[in-house]
Amino acid sequence: MITVQKTAELTGHGNPIFTLELSQKPGILFTGGNDKGLVEWSLKTNSFIKVMFPVAASVYAIHCPVGYPLLFAGLRSGEVLVFDFIKQTIVKSLKYHNAPVFDLKSVKSKNELLIASEDGQVSIWNIETLEFIHAIKVSDDTIRAISISPDEKRVAFACRNNQVSIYDTEDYALIKILHGHTMSVFALQYSPDGNYLVTGGRDAQIKIWEAITYELIQNIPAHLFAVNTIAFHPELPYFATGSMDKGIKIWGADDFKLYKIISREKGMESHALSVNKICWNGNQLISVSDDKKIIVWDIVFDD
């Protein structure tokens, strides 16, 4: 039994919100979208704090790597801005891609930042020096999302060509290409125990892959429209998905059953437009949408 309560609706963005990221500092959330700035919010008081810095193009991705006082913002222009929390300023712009940046992730054990772009390339940077290391050509088309396995030995890329490409993080050699989705893959995430990779795409399907052989275990017709985002609960065996169909669903991570639907059709004051990104903050689920709203949900898991 899962009960859901909407505890806050944060407004202030004037345009669709594309991404969100928890800060390294507890109780702080960052959001970005088709606006003029990257915004900081308090999850303790559920209130606006400030616009962190202005941006010249839409923000598609935000990343706050553990152990570093940095925030990375990936822009539609292909540029990645680096904000230093100690200096309270943008210290560098990472320029390699000329096409939109859709995701940013870091490999902590190697001090590396990975930037995925519409140009089909992933550029790799040293987080400490902020210097470019090299780039790999993953696809001839857009890379929409990155997920790094919990042991940091493998990285998966969601591609617009309907494929998921798995690489070794040691030398960035291609391990496997997963075929299964019939349309663009928009989202993917390794389970916290590292046993599964869950992918979602424009075909509205969720696919569960075993994370050693990458054999397809299960296919779930999950939503009515594209699956935009997937987020595993950090401790409990559940994951959530958000879709272009305006809905959020919570699934079992051990049995892959549907446990809860958060949507207007279910009588909830949910999003009126596409849910673009979700994340967990403990037992809170936070969602952002084309409707310009950030919604905080309290999720109670009853035995």
Q: Is 246 left (phi over 0), alpha (psi -120 to 50) or beta?
A: left
Backbone dihedral angles phi then psi of residue 156, each to the nearest 5 degrees: -115, 140
Q: Strand ranges (DSSP E) for 43-173?
A: 47-54, 59-63, 70-75, 79-84, 89-95, 101-107, 112-117, 121-126, 132-137, 143-148, 154-159, 163-168
Three-state SS at 228 = strand
Q: What is the mean pLDDT, run by run of 10 residues, along the chain of 303 residues? A: 96 97 97 96 97 97 97 98 97 98 98 98 98 98 98 98 98 97 98 98 98 97 98 97 98 97 95 98 98 98 83
303: Cβ–Cβ under 8 A, 6 or more apart, which residues?
Answer: none
Map tokens 């059709």 to a residue.
Answer: 265
pLDDT for 157 equals 98
**Residue pair 178/164 in contact by the 8 Å Cβ criterion:** yes
pLDDT for 303 equals 67
pLDDT for 104 equals 98
Q: What b/e sequence results for 210-226 when a residue is b if at least 16 CB atoms lie within 10 Å of its CB, and e otherwise?
A: ebeebeeeeebebbeeb
* CATH number, position 113: 2.130.10.10
Quote the domain boundaries for residue 147. Answer: 2-301
pLDDT for 302 equals 86
Domain total in the chain: 1
Nearest to 290 by CA among 73, 1, 31, 2: 31
User: What's the DSSP call for residue 211?
Assistant: T
Backbone dihedral angles phi then psi of residue 302, each to the nearest 5 degrees: -95, 140
